[in-house]
Amino acid sequence: MNIINRIKNKLWHELNPFFRKRVLLPFRRFRFNNPDVTILSSNCLGGCIAHDLNLRFNSPTINLWMTPKDFIRFCGNLGKYTSKELQFIELEGFRGYPIAKLIDITIHFQHYHSEDEARTTWTKRCKRINFNDIRCIMSERDGCTDEDLIAFSKLPYPTAAIVHYEKNNIPNCYVVRGFENEKEVGNIMVYRPNQYLGHKYYDDFDYVTFLNKQ
């Protein structure tokens, strides 16, 4: 790496966190007006958004992921799933984090260190769900199909599907730029390349407006 690229790389790593912490997030927190909302998310995006807004984690879907079909099933019958006990299993090809069955869905506790931690945290956060104000966010990845997006849009809660290109025939879809040539949305929770003002990919989605009281 030549000297100019090294300087750019250093600036990218230093300026992006600075501007995000000092400029972008304070402005979003100022605009935000719904601190009791519950964010159900198919992956870690919900936790990132809650962290951005200084929200308590009023949701069990933090630091984990489910396939789109399982997530839709979970959101569609929330009371049933959150009242049952997790059953931890082993899946071939998955190592290093706990995986649980919940009736007929599979939950990947990717950022948990033990089954006890996953179970305790899941149970605690299930009790925090605000059933009067739930918003659901799903990313178009992990095998997500257009049929899944349509089913997701029909849930009895406000929904936002993060997609990698325009879906004119499917409601509640929000395009994140940069993955148009891919098969699905990539890692949207990292800083965009070639900019220094703290923008991450998922900032294309105006999540403050989506979460705010109407």
pLDDT one-digit tens code per residue, 50-91: 999 999 999 999 999 999 999 999 999 999 999 999 999 988
In this structure, the strands spanning 99-102 and 87-89 are antiparallel
Average pLDDT of the residues of the chain: 95
103 assigned to some structural domain: no
107 assigned to some structural domain: no
Give residue 46's domain range. Answer: 3-62+71-77+129-211
How many whole angstroms separate alpha carbon 146 and alpha carbon 127?
Answer: 32
Of 11 and 129, the one with more pLDDT: 129
89 assigned to some structural domain: no
106 assigned to some structural domain: no
- State how many domains the chain has: 1
124 assigned to some structural domain: no
How many whole angstroms separate alpha carbon 24 and alpha carbon 36?
Answer: 22
202 assigned to some structural domain: yes
157 assigned to some structural domain: yes
113 assigned to some structural domain: no
**Amino acid identity at 127:** K
The pTM of the full predicted model, rounded to 2 decimals, is 0.94
pLDDT tens, position by position, 88-102: 998 877 778 999 999
